[in-house]
Amino acid sequence: MQTKSHSRNFIYTDWILIETQFDPDQLHSKETVFTIGNGYLGTKGSFEEGYPHALPATFIHGVYDDVPVVYTELANCPDWLPLIVIVNGDRFRLDQGEILRYDRKLDLRYGLVIRYLRWRSPSGNTIDITFERFASLADRHVLAQRCHLMPVDFDGSIEVQGSINGYPENQGFNHWEGLDQGKTDQGIWLQCRTRHSRIEIGMGATMRISGTEASLQVSTAPGYPTLSMTYQTKSQQTVTVEKIVTVFTSRETETPVSAATEKLAHLPDYATLLRANEQAWDEVWQQSDILIEGDSTAAFAVRYNLFQLLIAGSRHDDKVSIPAKTLSGFGYRGHIFWDTEIFMLPFFLFTQPAIARNLLSYRWHTLPGARRKASHYSYRGAMFAWESADTGDEVTPRWGLNSDFYGEDVRIWCRDREIHINADVPYAAWNYWQATGDDQWMQERGAEIILDAAIFWGSRVEFNSERQRYEIQGVIGADEYHEFVHNNAFTNRMAQWHLEKAIAVYDWLADKFPERTTELEEKLKLTPQERSHWQDIITKILFLHDPLTELIEQFEGFFQLEDINLADYEGRDRSMQAILGIEKTNKCQILKQPDILMLLYLMRESADIPYNEKALQTNWDYYAPRTDITYGSSLGPAVHAILASDLGKSTEAYKVFMQALMVDLEDNRGNTSDGIHGATAGGVWQAVIFGFGGIQLTENGPVANSHLPDGWTRLKFKLHWQGKWHDFDLRKEQVTQDITRQLEYLQLSLSQNSPSQASKHQFSPPASPAPSSPPLPNSQSPSEATHNPNIKGFIFDLDGVLTDTAELHYLAWQKLADEEGIPFNRQANEALRGVSRRASLMLIIGNRPYSEAQIEEMMERKNRYYGELIQSMTSKDLLPGAIAFLDELRQAGIKIGIGSGSKNARTVIERLGIADKIDAIADGYSVQQPKPAPDLFLYAAKQLGLEPAQSVVVEDAAAGIEAALVGGMWAIGLGPTERVGAAHIVLPNLEGVKWADLRTKLSNIAREKYSGTSN
């Protein structure tokens, strides 16, 4: 299924984001949207050829450096993307010449960015250029690019230059000093070092060409080593250039340059690297994917948010964590917040627990920095930084620069006052332990995190002798609109919860690992008196809560602040703080993000105090209307979506969920250019699983109590809990049926007995339909369906129906057969029409002995050849009558789907230029059983939201016609009667075909069939 976002020139399919038009005004936000990565590094979606004012960036986990006096930040690493194309002396660039066609896609399934352009140079030469890139998930140190070049209307000279740019900038500051560079037999290398942290980086690059002959030239301009090739080309000649890059830093090896050049010398070609990358992604998605049916926008956008998390989570390094903007932008300078533990980590915890362990181990490695911060403020224990980098020391800027040149700078108090993070990190550590049962990690690392951070609370609380209560004064809670408050309920309850769990962890550790207990007691100076103090705080900490109404006061005096009706500000386009100012907002009952509601959410799973249904309803009614959910914090909407879902407010839940879901794809806060909203991405996962899926964790494992949004017919995912995988396939049975039940019903309706006469438990399968008398579709009663066919959608096969790729398939098979020394010709190719790739290969190789691995390799090789051939397809390759018929159907309000067994169907559709005319795509990735099984067409119909009997299949192969008929659909066959005669209607092709004429024919067929059987 696909939908189109007009505001961003985006088309969303199940797995692929397609940008249909280049808009320079959205350059920076789109650079973020098209970010790729592999858990080691992230590269923004900048263009290979560059563009004025572009901000290309590659960030590597842990590579921090200082801007003297001001701040610490992730250093933008040398740029591996530059790939320059010069056409007859004109350098290809989008701000010159003429863009005749443009589309760029992000393939989430395999982490690929592919951009196709038809460009006319200032000199009038037209060329098709396709760029492709990925950061290998199979080998974190490998980056790959590929470029296809095909002159459309000229012969001449083309030069390609591939470089490493050693002059990257962090918005004006270059963190790198060049050390050395050079060339090897394989290509070029570059060596640099950060100016202050002294982290060294080594990068190598090689470039290969196929489709022509060209010699490789090397240029070693200082800081910009370059490989170049020049060749003479002819019109319609396709040449492919591959550029492979390797990267290491001194964080992984003492000799990064040697490591990079050695790896480069032993790497295979692009296609082999791509296959390894695809296999790695297949394994990751097997654990992490969420399938949503009935809402195509949500189906893609949820996967997009998960993709951004997956490419940011480190698989190999437990000394790094995920910055708030992931590895996708300069926002927050690569600093780590509570965003990671509270919002992002649950996704990894339940789908990629090894990554969750790494993320939490980062906090253990940075305990020395947390201890230094506590000591600086004269507290004991560990005080986690509000913003953390490589050491765990506080790196939150003291001042925020005012956009008004003459205005005053703004003091940033979070570093001093937003201390709830000291309970947030232990909260995540405790939940990791509960979910995984990883006792080893808890005794080696987790216990130290929890206990040392608990010691901080013992020194931070103050005892009020008049109240006989412990208080925590002068803090910022989760709601950052109020900057100096006392007894914030979120902070106080989280500190209390933390101390409760610290005592539990200590008792467990003393029982199971007494030697480790003694070691930590000595290291942390943890005494029985300290633990007794914790228990006293737990008993006496102040919590402003009315036990009768269950209403909780956010902080002391909150109810006395001025109340503002947010409804009076409808239509605004900025936050309430921006409208009222910092001081005014601080004096009003306006929230930047959930605070009390956030507390209830965190206590929800274990039903800890103060969570209960009455408390949720009471506090929702009070605080939700006072929360600036649209323009406050991006952390809020996902939490509101979960709680609204709990309360049965499905419309409101879905509305705020979509705010979170589209925050970057639609740039609905105007700051996507700063980087991906990582916490929002994690919140999206939680909203789907815990909100709409209704997952609750019990002693026997997770259970679902789903309340799917309107329109969602299916939600499928898996969770890892206590060492086991739990699969969930949640459906709205009253709205949809699974394919098996559909087939059973269709068999009933197509049998000689009507449903009213058939047994509920026994029925005879229909006889095979004779070509002269195909069965009629029927999803209601026989008379209803046959008297008045209610056609609402068409499902087209691609090959032989809308376009003719048969010649391309033949050429690809012929090339493979020639390479294998197998006789093959056009006559033999006829037997492959409508047959799956595997079945076709089996027909070609016959009885020749091949292993399964060899068969898989040959199928992939053939697909690669075919994929290269389809790159040259255009709208001119549409068959006669196809575009006119598609347009007529759309004008008539008929839905249009594609039902093609090809795994390249989406690419073909893009090349043909008809993506905006298609409502749903079922391809080789959609189902397991190929035609003549009906699964592919049933899947397409379901994506269109149609019953089988409301669908017409247009096919040119006997297997496709059979699949349509078995699936209970109308069938139109294109081609000779001996091949497609079993269809209801047989046509030579689509030229001159009119919907009105087809509708009349189908009605007549139905009428005749009904009158012939009604006696």
**Judging by beta carbons within 10 Å of its beta carbon (0-12, 13-18, 19+), is residue 765 exposed, middle or buried?**
exposed
Question: Which residues have a Cβ under 8 Å from the Cβ of 833 and sit 6 or more positions away?
Answer: 800, 806, 956, 957
Taking each helix axis from N to C end, the angle separating 852-870 and 837-845, rounded to the nearest 10 degrees, works out to 110
Q: Which helix H or strand E contains 843, and what residues bound it? A: helix 837-845
3-state secondary structure of 209: strand
| Owner of token pair 């079922």 | 922
State how far the Cα of 388 lies from the Cα of 415, in Å rounded to an integer: 10
Beta bridge partner(s), residue 142 = 246
Give the whole-angstrom CA distance, residue 831 versus residue 737: 35
Q: Which two tokens stand for residue 152?
A: 């459309």
Q: Is 159 a catalytic residue?
A: no
What angle (nearest 5°) sits at the alpha carbon of residue 662, between those of residues 659 and 665? 155
Which one of the listed residues 480, 553, 868, 947 is annotated catalytic?
480
Angle at which helix 421-436 crosses helix 489-512, to 10 degrees, equals: 40
Tokens 């196809």 belong to which residue? 882
- How far is the CA of 20 from the CAs of 9, 117, 431, 466, 872, in angstroms? 6, 11, 43, 68, 18
* Contact by Cβ (8 Å): 937, 967: yes
Question: Which residue intervals of 849-957 are DSSP H helices?
Answer: 852-870, 882-891, 905-912, 935-944
Produce one character per residue of 349-368: b if its CB has 16 or more CB atoms within 10 Å, e if not: bbbbbebbbbbbbbbbbbbe
Contact (CB, 8 A) for 445 and 367:
no
What does the radius of gyration of the chain's CA atoms come to, in whole angstroms? 31
Q: How far apart are CA 983 and CA 774, in angstroms?
A: 6
Phi/psi at 804 (5° precision): -120, 90
CA 56 to chain centre: 21
Would you list the DSSP string of 929-953? SPTTSSHHHHHHHHHHT--GGGEEE
Burial grade of 702 (CB within 10 A; 0-12, 13-18, 19 or more): buried
Residues 6+ apart with CB under 8 A from 744: none
Q: Position 780: which residue type?
A: Q
Distance CA 684, CA 303 (A): 10
Sign of the four-CA dihedral 795, 963, 975, 828: positive
Scanning 513-549, the segments in alpha helix (DSSP H) are 514-524, 528-540
Measured in degrees and rounded to the nearest 5, phi and psi for residue 133 equal: -150, 155
State the Cα–Cα distance between residues 1001 and 996, nearest whole angstrom. 9
Contacts of 325 (CB under 8 A, 6+ apart): 331, 332, 334, 674, 675, 676, 677, 678
So which residues are the catalytic ones? 480
